[in-house]
Structure 1
Amino acid sequence: MNRSNVEISGAFFQKTKYSKTLFAISFFLPFSSTNVKRFSQSFTTISSNPKSRTPSYKFLLSNHLKSQRLEEAREVLNKIPFPGVHLYTVMVDGYAQNYRLDDAMELFEKMPVRDTVSWNSMIKGCLHCGDLVMAKKLFDEMPGRNVVSWTTMVNGYLQFGKVEVAERLFFEMPVRDVAAWNSMIYGYLKLGRVEEAASLFRKMPSRNVISWTSMIGGLDYNGRSDEALVLFKKMIGSGVELSSNTFSCVLMACANVMALHLGVQTHGQIVKLGFRFDDFICASLLTFYANCKEMENACKVFNEKLHGNVVIWTALLTGYGLNHRHESALMVFEDMIRMGVLPNQSSFTSALNSCSGLEALDRGKEIHAVAVKLGLEADVFVGNSLIVMYTVCGNINDAIAAFNNIGEKNVVSWNSIIVGCAQHGNGMWTLTLFSRMIRAEVDPDEITFTGLLSAFSHSGMLQKGRCFFEYISRYKSSSMKLQHYVCMVDILGRSGKLEEAEELIKNMQVKANSTVWLALLSACRMHSNLEVAERAAKFILDLESHCSAPYVLLSNLYASAGKWGDVSRMRVQMKQRGIVKKPGCSWVTLRGLRHEFVSGDRSHPLSEKIYQKLNWLGGKLKEFGYVPDERFALHDVENEQKQEMLSYHSERLAIAFGLVTTAEGRAITVMKNLRVCGDCHSAIKLIAKIVGREIIVRDSTRFHHFRNGMCSCGDYW
């Protein structure tokens, strides 16, 4: 804007009595002397010709309401000498849409004349503001209802889950148009009443594209995607013209059942009909190809045009995450910010999930900082993802901080932090959080119960575990799942109550699977009970003959007892049946790169420094009185060789790598795919004390936080 234009417009605003109104319009049109002159002439016309006022007032009123400037809009309405029923209705609707129901009702009562449209608008406003009682009162008082009035109330009852009342009202309607039928079908589907929706759909006297699309989308929403695609084929045969919404629903159904061939055919139709650049179609195509593991095709769709829509960027970001291409997902997140596309809640959720997949704590913190800058830290979806990311990356304190920052917590928020604390062995924190959850009047579900029982298991809370399991069995039997039995067997097994755990499995109300017997077998390994272990292994192999876990655990148990003949027998059986033991592996993620180690590994570029550090640590450990526990050397070799094998377990190599590559005093986080061995557990406690650092080790069952010669598990894991 040049200086002369500013001076002209400013002078005009000072002179005219319509300055406030013109100032409002100036937000929508650029400043210029031409525009100012035109507005001057138009308002001169308004003041001299009353008949021309209403359209201009309507324009001003609508623009104020669009910008949520309700006080200015009301001021405009008050200045109109004889506002018609339409302008009153526009203002009433504006109040209601901004949740100012009292103001809307007050103005509605003052209206000199009320037509059917104004009554319908007021009823709809009550429903929008959540006041079903007032909506019904107005509907009952309404002098002349039309089909819109009836349909609005039907929608209202469905919105509040009152299906039976909606049904009764629907069948009482004197006239039902296609919109009324569509509303009832949509309501049924949204509430999971698929059969009722299908029955009503079949009874419809005539159907339009919305009828078909609602039914297709509703079937897919309720997990019946195959039926949705069958219906789509019938829709094509009906001759109804397809809409962009129809294609979006069909693509999502194809994505959910991975119907690649039909999805590709649908893509061809989309191109043919000119819908290819529709934003929602584009996002649906990206999701479809990503679900079908066709990321190259998803990228082709994305690259067809320059996108500024956050939904499309998020679809690509999420697609990479679903295909475990987390690095690519985070690159997309960085690119969208660089392109000026602001991420939304879904973008942050997908990006943080990729950080969890990479166990990339530093990058997760960077994304957290972006969320804080955009004011989304308190959002429940972003907050839930932050809890998971920090938990997975070993930082439970920041996970709790993220939980506390969430504005309105849902059951997923509570479950995420309870399960997180359980994984980190914080049994008392878990109980405290559960108490807070109950006080917040959030109903626990099966995931909550699993988290609590898991926490009791990892914290050695035998009596609390027994009491809570009894409570679930007696009062929450509908929520009782197999995983709750697995947790209880684990609690009993870790506490040495092996016979009681075996008895519980035999008396389960649901059929036992290999997982519950594996929990018992693992406990037998811990307590060196061969008799129960052999029975448990037999049950597992009867259920899953090619499962490697019973062979490995039983072999390790025989090795600890010095029964090398039985160890050889186990290994021969594994070889004969083609069963391969999963090798132990540990890794450290440093500056976005994952460094993996296996026992005795010397392939890493820093191997010389790593082994020097381990040899130095070996000397220090002896000074602290450490003696290797040869029971955990599972090969029949000389004692000296056993000790050397223990010294170079994968978790120790990973810790040594962390020590030589990170700054003094910084915590080291190591991940392992198997359970940490007892000898390494004892050694790492002392290593943490020697080097003066916190060492976090996540194995296949939980997190261990080693500090000052102690572990957070209390030697109970």
Structure 2
Amino acid sequence: MPNYVVPRCYISRSLIGLARFFRVASPTCYSILSEHLKNQRIDEAKELFERIPSPNIYLCTKMIAGYAENLRLNEALQLFDKMPVKDTVMWNLMIKGCVDCGNMDMSLKLFEEMTQRNVISYTTMISGFLKFGKVKEAESLFSEMPQRDVAAWNAMIYGYFENGRVEEAVKLFELMHYRNVISWTSVISGLDQYGRSDEALLIFKKMLDFFIEPTSSTFASVITACANARDLGLGSEIHACVVKLGYLYDTYVTASLITLYANCMHMDDSSKVFSERLHINIVVWTSLLTGYGLNYKHKEALKVFGDMIRIGLLPNQSSFTSALNSSCEMESIDLGKEIHGVAVKLGLNTDAFVGNSLVVLYSKCGNIDDGLIAFKEIPEKNIVSWNSIIVGCAQHGFGNWALTLFAQMVRSRADMDDITFTGLLAACSHSGMLEKGRRLFQYIPQSSSIEVTLEHYSCMVDILCRSGKLNEAEDLVKSMPMRPNLSIWLALLSGCKKHLNLELAERAAENVFHLDPNCSAAYVLLSNIYAFSGRWNDVARVRGNMRRRGNTKQPGCSWVNQKGIRHTFLSGDTSHPLSDGIYEKLEWLTEKLKEYGYVPDQRYALHDVEDEQKEVLLSYHSERLAICFALITTHGSAITVMKNLRVCGDCHSAIKLIAKIVDREIIVRDSSRFHHFRDGFCSCSDYW
């Protein structure tokens, strides 16, 4: 006789039939209902429940809990209202359901209707108030409690930390007559969360003095505090205790240990902890991925991300954020796009954290258009979202875009901070918007509680200098309420180079050398100003002073990233394997440039040599070699070149024509900003 499998629905119907016959639900009926609820099959559970003629209080309580846990509050309330008799357990369950579903008004109404409240009733309401930031209401209820158990005290302490009330949490902890391990762990975790890791570790030592046995959660919190405090010694001791007590295989303990060693720059130990067992938990993998990124081992970080995908472990928001940050640091937009594709497939590209990382990736790698698309796809933008896109637009010289986005930010009533205004002022600086920059600078102290910082003054000095308002810039520096720092004097000195104001340049340089006698950037700027003015004796004097102090000028360097590999070039470099092809393309471009009327600006050679030598020096600048490399290795697509110094004026003029000659967009990111060259023009409008 063949073995037939009887469908579960048939069994359910049969049991229901029996229940009807006997007018009572069988024990098996209870178990099937529990199984449905456990597996979140609420509709099946509801159908079964409604067929039971006389459900007892146990079944009703179970059903109400199932509705509430699955956020079906109305059905839970309807069943609750039908109950002729309600015990305290059911009241508490219904109140908790309202809290979990975010309906604090209903939970308070039910609480007030209760005739017999117990400590659980009060604790549930207190937790609810604190969950939604109603601290005063929670404090009032806590003070009214006829009796308090340790759970109520712990709820208040946890809620205080969750709402940033650190001092109140610590004071309440000190008032407790009896503390359990949850009390201690909450304080350790809370203090660490708010940057008070050293205090958290002292609390842990005090906890051991009271002979309180730590749990896995305690160890995870303490190890995280060691990681944030960079306390490798104590962290290693706790690691040894964890091994002895058998907590090493706890997911969060393992993840915390990986983070500890990563933060202390011991990635070999992080990797060793990870490899001690096969992990299938995303938290552990993400800790290793983030640790590699923290230690500037971005290739290893991306390998970990790839391994996660290969074994079928789905990345979470933190995994994507870390992987995208590593792609950004490697300036590899190709790898970033691959990771973006995975995020889209998993539906995480619109997550705020992932979206913010995408905005930064595309902006820093030269693709501001895709950065804007990524920004628009974030449904719930936070302050990091707005700041990232505003700073991105500033870096690319799109000042009007940055201001338009700021107007949208104001209309959406999003929070703003000092970074927001630093980005806006930088956007005005790179776009030559003097008056808008002035108005923004005056607006900062008027906008909520934001204070004008040194970075804001530095940006404003830069705006004035670029617009030729050098005297006004110097007056602003003199009127500052705080002492000008190095970046402010360097901004003034840099402006003097653009407008060849030697007298002010010497004063600015003197102030720089007073703050930092070995500032190589100031020596180079002053030397270049003298060179532009043809004062070669002063050039020699400044360079001599620089040599005597042991300072060396940072060599100009440009690079192109292709398939995760960086190809780097110095001026006149012949070390690249494709040098012959590069210089052949360079000679061809040089001839074409002459046909288009290009005349080298010999001032940018910055050396007292013959004119012919100056032309050769200019033509071999590193950015031109990088562009030629990209031209012979790619076809049709935009070329992106990164440079560690500002692009010189002569190369800027040449690259505008090169973009027209080869009919390709050329993007150059120098130390100041991005330049987008198309068809003989640059996005900066020759203002940089």
SS at match of 1:597: strand
In the other structure, the counterpart of 1:592 is 564
Which 4+ residue blocks in structure 1 deviate beyond 4 angstroms? 42-52
Give aligned pairs, total: 688
SS at match of 1:669: strand
In the other structure, the counterpart of 1:633 is 605
2:646 is aligned with 1:675: yes
What are the residue-to-residue correspondences of 1:3-402 with 2, within 5 Å?
A: 7-10=4-7, 16=10, 18-19=12-13, 53=26, 55-402=27-374
Mean alpha-carbon deviation: is it higher for 445-454 or for 676-685? 445-454
Q: What is the identity, as a one-letter code, of the residue corresponding to 1:234?
A: K
Distance (whole Å) between structure 2 residues aligned to residue 419 and residue 205 of structure 1: 52
2:675 is aligned with 1:709: no
C-alpha distance 531-86 of structure 1, shift in aligned 2 (>3 A): farther
Mean alpha-carbon deviation: is it higher for 468-477 or for 500-509? 468-477
Q: What is the identity, as a one-letter code, of the residue corresponding to 1:553?
A: L
Distance (whole Å) between structure 2 residues aligned to residue 4 and residue 304 of structure 1: 49
Write out per-residue CA displacement over residues 193-216 of structure 1, whole angstroms, 9 at most, x where no aligned residue.
222222111111111110111111
Mean alpha-carbon deviation: is it higher for 704-713 or for 140-149? 140-149
SS at match of 2:675: strand
2:571 is aligned with 1:615: no
SS at match of 1:580: coil
C-alpha distance 437-59 of structure 1, shift in aligned 2 (>3 A): farther
C-alpha distance 577-58 of structure 1, shift in aligned 2 (>3 A): farther
Question: Does the aligned pair in 2 maintain the 1:123–1:138 contact within 8 Å?
Answer: yes
Q: What is the identity, as a one-letter code, of the residue corresponding to 2:610?
A: E
Question: Does the aligned pair in 2 maintain the 1:57–1:80 contact within 8 Å?
Answer: no
2:438 is aligned with 1:466: yes
Distance (whole Å) between structure 1 residues aligned to residue 377 and residue 447 of structure 2: 33
Query: How much does 1:222 deviate?
Result: 0.8
Mean alpha-carbon deviation: is it higher for 283-292 or for 185-194? 185-194
Q: What is the identity, as a one-letter code, of the residue corresponding to 1:562?
A: G
C-alpha distance 623-4 of structure 1, shift in aligned 2 (>3 A): farther
Question: Does the aligned pair in 1 maintain the 2:395–2:672 contact within 8 Å?
Answer: yes
C-alpha distance 104-507 of structure 1, shift in aligned 2 (>3 A): farther
SS at match of 1:595: strand
SS at match of 1:705: strand
Distance (whole Å) between structure 1 residues aligned to residue 30 and residue 384 of structure 2: 46
Distance (whole Å) between structure 1 residues aligned to residue 141 and residue 63 of structure 2: 29
In the other structure, the counterpart of 1:418 is 390
Query: How much does 1:8 deviate?
Result: 3.4
Distance (whole Å) between structure 2 residues aligned to residue 423 and residue 65 of structure 1: 54
Question: Does the aligned pair in 1 maintain the 2:64–2:79 contact within 8 Å?
Answer: yes
SS at match of 2:637: coil
Query: How much does 1:409 deviate?
Result: 1.9
In the other structure, the counterpart of 1:697 is 668
Among all aligned residue pairs of Structure 1 and Structure 2, give the percentage whose two residues are the same amino acid.
62
C-alpha distance 384-475 of structure 1, shift in aligned 2 (>3 A): closer
Q: What is the identity, as a one-letter code, of the residue corresponding to 2:130?
A: L
Q: What is the identity, as a one-letter code, of the residue corresponding to 2:12?
A: Y
SS at match of 2:415: coil
Q: Which runs of 5+ in 2 are unaligned?
A: none
Distance (whole Å) between structure 2 residues aligned to residue 690 and residue 379 of structure 1: 42
2:647 is aligned with 1:650: no
Query: How much does 1:504 deviate?
Result: 1.3
C-alpha distance 81-509 of structure 1, shift in aligned 2 (>3 A): farther
In the other structure, the counterpart of 1:666 is 637
Write out per-residue CA displacement over residues 495-529 of structure 1, whole angstroms, 9 at most, x where no aligned residue.
11111111112222333211122111111111111
Question: Does the aligned pair in 2 maintain the 1:528–1:557 contact within 8 Å?
Answer: yes
Question: Does the aligned pair in 2 maintain the 1:560–1:631 contact within 8 Å?
Answer: yes
Find 2:459's aligned residue among 471, 476, 487. 487
Question: Does the aligned pair in 2 maintain the 1:97–1:125 contact within 8 Å?
Answer: yes
Q: What is the identity, as a one-letter code, of the residue corresponding to 2:253?
A: I
Distance (whole Å) between structure 2 residues aligned to residue 99 and residue 515 of structure 1: 55
Q: What is the identity, as a one-letter code, of the residue corresponding to 1:692?
A: D
Question: Does the aligned pair in 1 maintain the 2:30–2:59 contact within 8 Å?
Answer: yes
Distance (whole Å) between structure 1 residues aligned to residue 617 and residue 29 of structure 2: 87
SS at match of 1:469: helix
Query: How much does 1:226 deviate?
Result: 0.6
Distance (whole Å) between structure 1 residues aligned to residue 236 and residue 17 of structure 2: 60
Question: Does the aligned pair in 2 maintain the 1:621–1:683 contact within 8 Å?
Answer: yes
TM-score if structure 2 supplies the norm length?
Answer: 0.96
Query: How much does 1:52 deviate?
Result: 6.5
Q: CA RMSD in A?
A: 1.9
Mean alpha-carbon deviation: is it higher for 384-393 or for 184-193? 184-193
In the other structure, the counterpart of 1:563 is 535
Query: How much does 1:548 deviate?
Result: 1.5
Distance (whole Å) between structure 2 residues aligned to residue 460 and residue 341 of structure 1: 49
Distance (whole Å) between structure 2 residues aligned to residue 568 and residue 543 of structure 1: 23
Question: Does the aligned pair in 2 maintain the 1:457–1:465 contact within 8 Å?
Answer: yes
What are the residue-to-residue correspondences of 1:434-449 with 2, within 5 Å?
A: 434-449=406-421
Question: Does the aligned pair in 1 maintain the 2:24–2:53 contact within 8 Å?
Answer: no
Query: How much does 1:46 deviate?
Result: 6.1
Distance (whole Å) between structure 2 residues aligned to residue 90 and residue 578 of structure 1: 78
Q: What is the identity, as a one-letter code, of the residue corresponding to 1:480?
A: V
Distance (whole Å) between structure 1 residues aligned to residue 71 and residue 225 of structure 2: 35
C-alpha distance 598-183 of structure 1, shift in aligned 2 (>3 A): same
Question: Does the aligned pair in 2 maintain the 1:445–1:479 contact within 8 Å?
Answer: no
Q: What is the identity, as a one-letter code, of the residue corresponding to 1:9?
A: V
In the other structure, the counterpart of 2:480 is 508
Q: What is the identity, as a one-letter code, of the residue corresponding to 1:677?
A: C
SS at match of 1:704: strand
Mean alpha-carbon deviation: is it higher for 562-571 or for 159-168? 159-168
C-alpha distance 519-90 of structure 1, shift in aligned 2 (>3 A): farther
Write out per-residue CA displacement over residues 5-55 of structure 1, whole angstroms, 9 at most, x where no aligned residue.
5x5325x85xx4734xxxxxxxxxxxxxxxxxxxx8x889867777762x4
Question: Does the aligned pair in 1 maintain the 2:659–2:665 contact within 8 Å?
Answer: yes
Q: Which runs of 5+ in 1 are unaligned?
A: 20-39
2:506 is aligned with 1:534: yes
SS at match of 1:122: helix
SS at match of 1:183: helix
Query: How much does 1:599 deviate?
Result: 1.1
Distance (whole Å) between structure 2 residues aligned to residue 46 and residue 209 of structure 1: 47
Distance (whole Å) between structure 2 residues aligned to residue 674 and residue 384 of structure 1: 27
SS at match of 2:488: helix
Query: How much does 1:411 deviate?
Result: 2.0
In the other structure, the counterpart of 1:34 is none
SS at match of 1:603: coil
Distance (whole Å) between structure 1 residues aligned to residue 155 and residue 148 of structure 2: 11
Query: How much does 1:637 deviate?
Result: 1.2
Mean alpha-carbon deviation: is it higher for 221-230 or for 570-579? 570-579
Query: How much does 1:163 deviate?
Result: 2.0
Distance (whole Å) between structure 2 residues aligned to residue 528 and residue 62 of structure 1: 83
